[in-house]
Amino acid sequence: MQTHPYWDKKILGVQTYKIKFIFQKYLYHLFGITLPKMKSQKDYWNIRGEAHMSDVLDTGYNERELFFQNMLVDHLNELSFDSIFEAGCGFGWNLKRIKQTFPSKQVGGVDFSVPQIKNSEIYLKGMGITLSQGDILKMPLKNDEFDIGFSVGVFLNIHSKYIYQAAKEMVRVSKKYIIHFEYDENNTTEALKHYRKPKTNIISHDYRKIYNDLGAKMIVFQTYKNFGEAFNEYVKNISSNVHRWENFEGPEKYIFAIFEINK
């Protein structure tokens, strides 16, 4: 299998993307030291963004992540909406599925990574999906522009200092609902919490508290304890292996939440 050049760069025989994590991991496990979380990940994703599409589509990752995409679509079928956008849309994998499933709906996406937006323009060509290059903390979208705003594994990259600002932007742009698949260390396994603790790019947030503080009503909140068994059954039917330096982390990496906006 061919890999993107991003993953092939090495220093003394070790891939460069591994070096930082290995250092963080042993600093934590040997000395109990964690480094400060990254306040901004723009530079990180402007580099890794070039490889993200191949990392998802060419490694077996997408076959497993499809479980959560199916969950999203199933719940969208139960909601009334005419428009939907993804905050941190990447190369547009989720947007493509949504547009194919709901062809009459207006679909849009925002991402701050220029390479991600460029890849999404190729991946979504001719589908009539609106793409915007911009920061989630100040999205180039109008008030109430979309009925639903959602994210999948994106807000875990937002520093705690800015998480309320990001959530306020979701409330500003979304008219009816906000949906998140995100990481919450209080609703995961001890093993994954321990593994992710030293990572400076992964940050846990309490989404129930955040949106309650902003006046939104939680209508769905699920964890791996709710959908973990279904995920494990789903994976039994996948024949491919994961060709990544990290294995697929499993259902415990997400909480699933839907908030209704009261305006």
User: At 188, which CATH number?
Assistant: 3.40.50.150
- Cα gap 120→125, rounded to integer Å: 8
Whole-number pLDDT of residue 50: 84
Q: Which of 163, 13, 3, 14 has its CA nearest to residue 87?
A: 163
pLDDT digits (tens, 9 = 90+) for 182-200: 999 999 999 999 999 999 9
Segments forming the whole domain that contains residue 148: 5-260
Q: Give the number of domains in the chain.
A: 1
pLDDT in tens, 145-159: 999 999 999 999 999
pLDDT digit string, tens, across residues 96-126 = 999 999 999 999 999 999 999 999 999 999 9
Contact indicator for 8, 14 with CB cutoff of 8 Å: no
pTM reported for the whole predicted model = 0.92
